Amino acid sequence: MARKHSKHDPYQDLDREEEAPAAAVACWLCGRPTGATITWHHPVPKSRGGRDVVPMHAICQQTLIANFTNSELQRHGTDVSGLLDNPNIRKFVDWVAKKDPDFTATITRKQR
């Protein structure tokens, strides 16, 4: 007696919808589309009562953490323009604008 359906794929006759690639989300800091990895960052640190999260590149998040304390991040809140007024952040965003969305690099230590 022959099998009606394959033993290994019982759903082979069903029409499978192809998954469309998700639209690239823009990074909160630099505005470039995010790549394969999205880091969800708290603009106001959780230790300071922050609940909202924003999508970022890992390298952008590392740069923020290296240049600002939690208190400074709390003061800026979700205001990106205030962060971009910092010369180190502005220089970084101008530099990373030409990079691939999945670009990653080592970030220097915290500059305090």
Rounded Cα gap, residues 96 and 91, in angstroms = 9
Please report whether residue 60 resides in a domain: yes
CB 27 within 8 A of CB 33: yes
Q: How much is the pLDDT for 53?
A: 92
Please report whether residue 14 resides in a domain: no
Please report whether residue 1 resides in a domain: no
- Which residue in this structure is represented by tokens 């999260």? 53
The percent of residues in the chain predicted with pLDDT above 70, rounded, is 75
Mean pLDDT for 96-102 is: 87
User: What is the rounded average pLDDT for all residues in the chain?
Assistant: 82
Q: How much is the pLDDT for 18?
A: 54
Please report whether residue 3 resides in a domain: no
Tell me how far apart the terminal alpha carbons of the chain are, to the nearest angstrom: 77
Rounded Cα gap, residues 61 and 40, in angstroms = 9
Residue-range definition of the domain harbouring residue 85: 25-111
30-80 tens-digit pLDDT = 999 988 888 899 999 998 888 999 999 999 999 999 999 999 999 998 889
Please report whether residue 4 resides in a domain: no
Q: How much is the pLDDT for 24?
A: 77
CB 78 within 8 A of CB 64: no
Please report whether residue 70 resides in a domain: yes
Please report whether residue 94 resides in a domain: yes
How many degrees, rounded to 5, is the angle at CA 48 between CA 68 and CA 71? 30
CB 74 within 8 A of CB 45: yes
- The residue type found at 42 is H
CA 35 to chain centre: 8
Please report whether residue 19 resides in a domain: no
What 3-state class would DSSP assign to 108?
coil
Q: How much is the pLDDT for 28?
A: 92
Total structural domains within the chain: 1
